[in-house]
A and B are shown apart, each in its own frame.
Chain A
Amino acid sequence: ILNVEQSPQSLHVQEGDSTNFTCSFPSSNFYALHWYRWETAKSPEALFVMTLNGDEKKKGRISATLNTKEGYSYLYIKGSQPEDSATYLCARSQGAQKLVFGQGTRLTINP
């Protein structure tokens, strides 16, 4: 994998259901993996920064895992709520704070 790739590009989930999506990235020269939530007309909000293989982080109903050896991270949302509707971005950094972003996963929660 040469670039940061996210899948799926978009996702519709029923309110109350749990969901997850994927970020794949080059595993060589890895420094950190970032997740952001980006609501329309707002600033992207930092969710997690993960650096170690096997890292798991949690923030409320949202959690993320990291596998640096195979180059992927999963973001999980438990019991989706309408306010979870947003675009979720992942980005890989190689030090010097230079972030390389994926295209994002656009999540829509249906009431």
Chain B
Amino acid sequence: GAVVSQHPSWVICKSGTSVKIECRSLDFQATTMFWYRQFPKQSLMLMATSNEGSKATYEQGVEKDKFLINHASLTLSTLTVTSAHPEDSSFYICSVGGSTDTQYFGPGTRLTVL
């Protein structure tokens, strides 16, 4: 399967600042990447589908102006949390769509907003 990395693995930021999370597909050219988040004691929830060279598709309830997604190349998608607030503190994880509908995940990024 595809190998996916994320950077950083954890980040702490002040309220009101912006944070960028990178998702890289190391051995697979991904036209589609996915961003999920997981709040404590909840399941992974899809936030958006990132499409290379075009706009991302956001799930209902996810603010597209707050969570900026850029997928400029087949190996890199970035998620920027703009003007982060404590309620944005969560675990963010990306995945790459492979063959047979399997998704290959990165290790995730723990965001803490103070």
Q: Which residues of chain A have a CB within 8 Å of any CB of chain B?
A: 4, 31-32, 34, 36, 41-44, 46, 49, 89, 91, 93, 96-104
Contacts and interface: CB of A to CB of B under 8 A. Distances in A.
B42 interface: yes
A49 B1 CA distance: 13
A42 B6 CA distance: 11
Among A91, A97, A98, A100, find the residue whose CB has the most chain B CB atoms closer than 10 A: A97
12 contacts: A4-B43, A34-B103, A36-B105, A42-B107, A96-B49, A97-B32, A99-B44, A99-B103, A100-B46, A101-B45, A103-B42, A103-B43
Contacts of A46: 1, 102-104
Interface string B96-108: 0100111111111
B101 A49 contact: yes
A97 B43 contact: no
Nearest to A95: B101
Contacts of B1: 46
Contacts, number: 51
Contact of B103 (A31, A97, A103): A97
Interface residues of B, number: 23
B102 A43 contact: no
B67 interface: no
B43 A43 contact: no
A98 B32 CA distance: 11
Interface string B41-74: 1111110010000000000000000000000000
10 smallest A-B Cβ distances: which pairs?
A101-B44, A101-B43, A44-B105, A103-B43, A43-B105, A43-B107, A97-B97, A46-B102, A32-B101, A49-B102
